Amino acid sequence: MSDQTSPAPLNVGLIGYGFMGAAHSHAWRTAHRFFDLPRTPVLHTIAGRTEASVADAAARYGFTAHTTRWQDLLEDPEIDVIDICSPGDTHHEITLAALAAGKHVLCEKPLANSVAESEEMTAAAVAAARDGILSLCGFSYRRTPALAYARQLVEEGFVGEIRQVRAQYLQDWLSDADAPMTWRLDKDTAGSGALGDIGAHVIDLTQWITGLDIEAVSATLTTVVPTRPVAGSAQGLGGKGDASGERGRVTVDDTALFTARFAGGVLGQFEATRMATGRKNAIRVEINGANGSIAFDFERMNELEIYDATAPAGRQGFTRVLTTEPEHPYAAAWWPTGHGLGYEHTFTHEIADLVRAIGEGVDPSPSFAEALHVQRVLAAVEASDADGSRWTPVDPEST
Ligand code: SOE
C-alpha cells in the first residue's frame, strides 16, 4: 500500500561512478532521511563508461538501473534530475542536452573546461529556468556548517570592513613523483590542474563569504613533476605508478599561486596545490576585517576560529567555536550537541538545498552564472601566468 503522506519522488539519473559519483549517491540516498524535503529522491539510473564497473556501482550505491549510455538518462521520461559527476570535458555537452530534454541539472565543479563553454551553459540554464528547469553547480564546501556560518558572520558585520583575504587549498596526493597518471593531469580532460580542481573551490568560497567578486589577478603556475608512470595501481586519488615503465606527460599545473584584487580593492592571497606533503585536504580561509577576523581549516571542519577586535584588550584572542550546535547552519538536522559532521555531509546539504529549490521552484545557488564567474577567474589566472604574472583583469565579456 502506498504511503499517501510521502512527498512525490524525484528520480535521479547520475553520470559517473568515481569518487564524486559515490559522494553524490550517498547524499541523494541520505538527504530526505535527515531533512524535511518537498520531494523524495530516488536513485533511478546510473550511467558510466564500463559495463562491469557501472553495474557494480549501481549495486553498491543503490541505483535501480544502470547504463553505459548517458543519453539513456535524458531519453527516459521518468528521470527528473541529471547529476553530472564525470570529468570536466563532458560537462558542456551533457548539460546542454539535459536542459534541452527538460531535466534539472546538478553539474560538478568546475562548471566546464573553458569560459566559452561555461557561457553557453549559463545561457541555457537561464533560458531553462524560465520553464522551471533548475541548475546548480557543485561547489559543495559552501555547505560546510562552519563556512556557511562564516558567511553569516560576515553578513552580520562581525568582521566589519574587510581588509584582507587569505585562502589555500592544500592536498598531497601528487607529492610522490611516481604516483600514476590520471585524467586529472590531462588538460584536455580536466581543463586545468590544481587551479581548477581545488583552486576553484577557494575562489568560490572567498567570493561567497565576503560577497565580493574577484576583479583582477597576478598569477604563477607550475608543473613540478612533468611526467608520470602511465601504468600503476590507483589508490584513492593517488596511488603507486610503475616507475620502471612508460611515462606520460602531465599537461596541467601542479601548483597555482596568485594574488587577487576583489571589488573595492581588497587583496587576497591564494594557493592551490596537490604537492603539499602532509596536507590532506586543508582548505584554509582567513578573512581579516576592521572589527575582527575569521579563520577556518577543513582538516578541522567542525571548528571556526573567530577574533573579536572590539573585545576589551585583555580578553582578545582567537576563540575556537564548535560549529556543531543547532544554532549553526545545517547542524540541527543531525546529531546531538558536539557530535560533529564529515566531508560527506557537505554533499547531503547540497542535495537537500537543491531538492528544496526544485520543490519551491526557486533558483538554487551556486547558479551557473556564479560558477561562470569562477571560470573567468580561472581563465584570468592562466592568462596572467602566460604573460609573466602581469596583473590581468577578470573580464566579464571575455570568452
Ligand atoms: C581532488 O583533488 C578532489 O577530489 C576534488 O576534485 C574535489 O572537488 C575535492 O572535494 C576533493 O579533492
User: Could you list the pLDDT tens digit for every one of the 399 residues in the chain?
Assistant: 445 578 999 999 999 999 999 999 999 999 999 999 999 999 999 999 999 999 999 999 999 999 999 999 999 999 999 999 999 999 999 999 999 999 999 999 999 999 999 999 999 999 999 999 999 999 999 999 999 999 999 999 999 999 999 999 999 999 999 999 999 999 999 999 999 999 999 999 999 999 999 999 999 999 999 999 999 888 888 999 999 999 999 999 999 999 999 999 999 999 999 999 999 999 999 999 999 999 999 999 999 999 999 999 999 999 999 999 999 999 999 999 999 999 999 999 999 999 999 999 999 999 999 999 999 999 999 999 999 999 999 987 654
Beta carbon of 146 within 6 Å of any ligand 1 atom: no
Helix (H, G, I), strand (E, B) or coil at 395: coil
Ligand 1 pocket member 302 (CB < 6 A): no
Q: Is 237 in the pocket of ligand 1 (CB under 6 A)?
A: yes
DSSP codes joined into one string, 163-224? EEEEEEEE--TT-STTSPP-GGG-HHHHSSSHIIIIIHHHHHHHHHHH---EEEEEEEEE-S
Ligand 1 pocket mutation pick from 198, 204, 349 by most atoms within 8 angstroms of CB: 198
Ligand 1 atom with the shortest distance to the CA of 20: 4
Determine the Cα–Cα distance for residues 386 and 391; give it in Å rounded to an integer.
Answer: 11
Atom number, ligand 1, closest to the C-alpha of residue 23? 10
Task: Give the pLDDT of residue 1.
Answer: 43
Whole-number Å distance, alpha carbon 380 to ligand 1 midpoint, is 22
Q: What is the pLDDT of residue 5?
A: 73
State the CB neighbour count (10 A cutoff) for residue 217: 27
The letter for the amino acid at 52 is A
- The answer for residues whose C-beta is within 8 angstroms of residue 109's C-beta and 6 or more apart is 137, 138, 139, 200, 201, 204, 371, 374
C-alpha cell of residue 271: 594557493
- Distance (angstroms) between ligand 1 centre and the Cα of 269 equals 21
The verdict on whether omega for the bond into residue 312 sits within 30 degrees of 0, i.e. cis, is no
57-85: string of b/e by CB count within 10 Å (b at 16+)?
Answer: bbeebebeebbeebeebbebeebbbbbbb
Is residue 19 lining ligand 1, measured as CB closer than 6 Å?
Answer: yes
Strands 162-170 and 267-273: parallel
Query: Cα(342) to centroid of ligand 1, in Å?
Result: 14
Amino acid at 377: V
Its ipTM equals 0.97
Is the C-beta atom of 198 inside 6 A of ligand 1?
Answer: yes
Burial code of 129-145, b = ≥16 C-beta within 10 A, e = fewer? beeebbbbbbbbbbbbb
Q: What is the pLDDT of residue 234?
A: 80
Cα-only R_g, the chain: 21
Q: Which cell goes with 61?
A: 550505491
pLDDT of residue 399: 43
Q: Which atom of ligand 1 is nearest to the CA of 343?
A: 10
Determine if ligand 1 sits within 6 Å of the CB of residue 282: no
Does the CB atom of residue 171 touch ligand 1 within 6 A? yes
Cell of 37: 524535503
